[in-house]
Structure 1
Amino acid sequence: MTGPLTGPGLDGLPGVTDWQLLPGDPRDTLLVAGGPPAARGDAAPGPDAVRAEADGDAAVLGTDLAALPAAMRRLDETAMLTMARVLDRTRLFRDGGRATTEEVLAALAAAPRHAWIVRRWLRTLAAENRLTTDPATGRHHALRVPDRRDHARALRELDGACRDLGYPPAMTRFFRAAAERLPLLLRDGASLQEVLFPDGGTDTARGNYRDSAPSRWANHAAASLVAGEARRRAADRPLRVLEAGAGVGGTTGTVLEALGDTPVDYLFTDVSPFFLRTARDAFGGHPGLRPALFDIQADPLAQGFEAGSQDVVLAANVLHNARHTGRCLAALRELLAPGGLLVVIESCEEHYQALTSMYLLMSPAADERGWFTDLRQGQDRVFLTAGEWTRQLDAAGFDPLPVLPPDGHPLAGAAGQRVIAGRVRPHDGRPDPARVRAALAGRLPAGAPLPRVHAVDHIIRTDTPTGATR
Structure 2
Amino acid sequence: MTSRAQARTAAAEAVREAGAAVDGARLTDFLAALDDVAVAEMTRVLAASGVFDSAAARTAEEVGTALRATPRHRHIVRRWLRALAARDRLTHRDADATYTGLRPVSAPEAERRWRRAADLEHEIGWSTELLTVMRTCAERLPELVCGDVGIRDLLFPGAATEAADAAYRDNLAIRHLNRAVVAALREIAAGHTGEERLRVLEVGGGVGGTTGELVPVLAEYGVDYLFTDPSAFFLNEARERFADHAWVRYQRFDVDEDPRAQHLLPNTFDVVVCANTLHAATDADAAVGRLRELLVPGGQLVFVENTRDENLPLLVSMEFLEVAGRTWTDVREHTGQSFLTHTQWRALLDGHEASGVTSLPDAGDALAGTGQEVFIATMKDDRHHVPVGELARTAATRLPEYMLPAVWQVVDALPRTANGKTDRARLRSWLPRESAPVVVDERPKDELEHSLADLWAELLAVEGVTRNDDFFDLGGDSLLVARMVGRLRERVPQAADLEWEVVLRHMLRRPTVAGLAAFLRALAGPEDAPAAGAVRTDPVIHLHGSRSEDEPTTVLVHAGTATIMPYRALITEIRRRSPGLAEVVGVEVPDLSGFLAAPPDGLIERMAADYARALTADGRRRFHVVGYCLGGLIATEVARNLAESGAEVESLTVISSHSPRFRLDDELLAEYSFAVMMGIDPADLGFPDDQYRVAAAADAVLAASPGVLPDGGLAALGEEFEDVASRFRRLADVPRATRIARMCEAVPASAGTYEPDHMTRLFLAFRQSVFAITRYRAEPYAGDITFLRHDGAYPFPGSKDAVTAYWEELTLGDLDIVDIGGDHYSCLSVEHAPGILKTLGELTQGAITR
TM band (smaller chain):
0.7 to 0.9
**Matched positions, count:** 398
Return the letter of the residue paired with 1:352.
Answer: L
Q: Deviations over 1:345-392 (max 9, x none)?
A: 111123211111121122252xx6xx3333333211122222322221
1:291 match: secondary structure = strand
Matched, 1:142 2:97: no
Matched, 1:216 2:175: yes
1:233: how far off?
1.3
In 2, the alpha carbon distance for the partners of 1:204 and 1:171 equals 12
1:428: how far off?
5.9
Q: Give the 3 Å change call, closer, same or farther, for CA 328–439 of structure 1 in structure 2.
A: farther
Return the letter of the residue paired with 2:132.
Answer: R
In 2, the alpha carbon distance for the partners of 1:428 and 1:132 equals 53
1:105: how far off?
0.7
| Among 56, 61, 67, the residue aligned to 2:26 | 67
Return the letter of the residue paired with 1:357.
Answer: S
2:347 match: secondary structure = helix
Q: Give the 3 Å change call, closer, same or farther, for CA 193–88 of structure 1 in structure 2.
A: same
Q: Deviations over 1:11-45 (max 9, x none)?
A: xxxxxxxxxxxxxxxxxxxxxxxxxxxxxxxx9x9
In 2, the alpha carbon distance for the partners of 1:336 and 1:280 equals 24
Tell me the equivalent position of 2:629. Answer: none
| Among 342, 347, 354, the residue aligned to 1:391 | 347
In 1, the alpha carbon distance for the partners of 2:116 and 2:56 equals 31
Is residue 206–residue 250 contact of structure 1 (8 Å, CA) maintained in 2? Answer: yes
Tell me the equivalent position of 1:410. Answer: 366
| Among 246, 271, 278, the residue aligned to 1:319 | 278
Is residue 208–residue 215 contact of structure 1 (8 Å, CA) maintained in 2? Answer: no
The 5 Å alignment of 1:298-377 reads: 298-350=257-309, 351-363=311-323, 365=325, 371-377=327-333
Tell me the equivalent position of 2:377. Answer: 422
User: Normalised by the size of structure 1, how large is the TM-score?
Assistant: 0.76
Is residue 268–residue 289 contact of structure 1 (8 Å, CA) maintained in 2? Answer: yes
1:168: how far off?
3.2
Tell me the equivalent position of 1:466. Answer: none
1:50: how far off?
1.6
In 1, the alpha carbon distance for the partners of 2:364 and 2:168 equals 24
Which region of structure 1 is more displaced relative to structure 2, 265-274 or 219-228?
265-274
Return the letter of the residue paired with 1:228.
Answer: E
Q: Give the 3 Å change call, closer, same or farther, for CA 399–125 of structure 1 in structure 2.
A: same
Structure 1: gaps spanning 5 or more residues: 1-42, 451-470
User: Normalised by the size of structure 2, how large is the TM-score?
Assistant: 0.44
Tell me the equivalent position of 1:250. Answer: 209
In 2, the alpha carbon distance for the partners of 1:169 and 1:199 equals 21
Return the letter of the residue paired with 1:152.
Answer: E
Matched, 1:177 2:136: yes
Is residue 267–residue 297 contact of structure 2 (8 Å, CA) maintained in 1? Answer: yes
1:65: how far off?
2.8
| Among 312, 333, 338, the residue aligned to 1:382 | 338
The structure that is helix-richer by fraction is: 2
1:344: how far off?
0.9
| Among 39, 53, 72, the residue aligned to 1:80 | 39
Tell me the equivalent position of 2:602. Answer: none
Is residue 53–residue 404 contact of structure 1 (8 Å, CA) maintained in 2? Answer: yes
Return the letter of the residue paired with 2:415.
Answer: R
Matched, 1:109 2:68: yes
Q: Percent identity?
A: 34
In 2, the alpha carbon distance for the partners of 1:291 and 1:223 equals 20
Q: Give the 3 Å change call, closer, same or farther, for CA 180–114 of structure 1 in structure 2.
A: same
Q: Give the 3 Å change call, closer, same or farther, for CA 75–275 of structure 1 in structure 2.
A: farther
In 1, the alpha carbon distance for the partners of 2:146 and 2:414 equals 45
Q: Deviations over 1:102-153 (max 9, x none)?
A: 1111111111112111011111111100111233343322211123233233
2:221 match: secondary structure = coil
In 1, the alpha carbon distance for the partners of 2:370 and 2:178 equals 14
In 1, the alpha carbon distance for the partners of 2:419 and 2:120 equals 58
Tell me the equivalent position of 1:261. Answer: 220
Q: Give the 3 Å change call, closer, same or farther, for CA 206–265 of structure 1 in structure 2.
A: same
Return the letter of the residue paired with 1:355.
Answer: L
Q: Give the 3 Å change call, closer, same or farther, for CA 270–203 of structure 1 in structure 2.
A: closer
Is residue 344–residue 419 contact of structure 1 (8 Å, CA) maintained in 2? Answer: yes
Matched, 1:49 2:21: no
In 2, the alpha carbon distance for the partners of 1:418 and 1:403 equals 6
Return the letter of the residue paired with 1:275.
Answer: F
Which region of structure 1 is more displaced relative to structure 2, 232-241 or 136-145?
232-241
1:326: how far off?
2.5
1:308 match: secondary structure = coil
- The one of the two structures with greater contact order (alpha-carbon pairs below 8 A, sep at least 6) is 1
When Rg is computed on C-alpha atoms for both structures, the one with the higher figure is 2
Tell me the equivalent position of 1:166. Answer: 125
Q: CA RMSD in A?
A: 3.1
Tell me the equivalent position of 1:435. Answer: 415
Q: Give the 3 Å change call, closer, same or farther, for CA 162–316 of structure 1 in structure 2.
A: same
In 2, the alpha carbon distance for the partners of 1:81 and 1:163 equals 21
1:85: how far off?
0.8
Is residue 170–residue 204 contact of structure 1 (8 Å, CA) maintained in 2? Answer: no
In 2, the alpha carbon distance for the partners of 1:338 and 1:186 equals 46
Return the letter of the residue paired with 2:264.
Answer: F
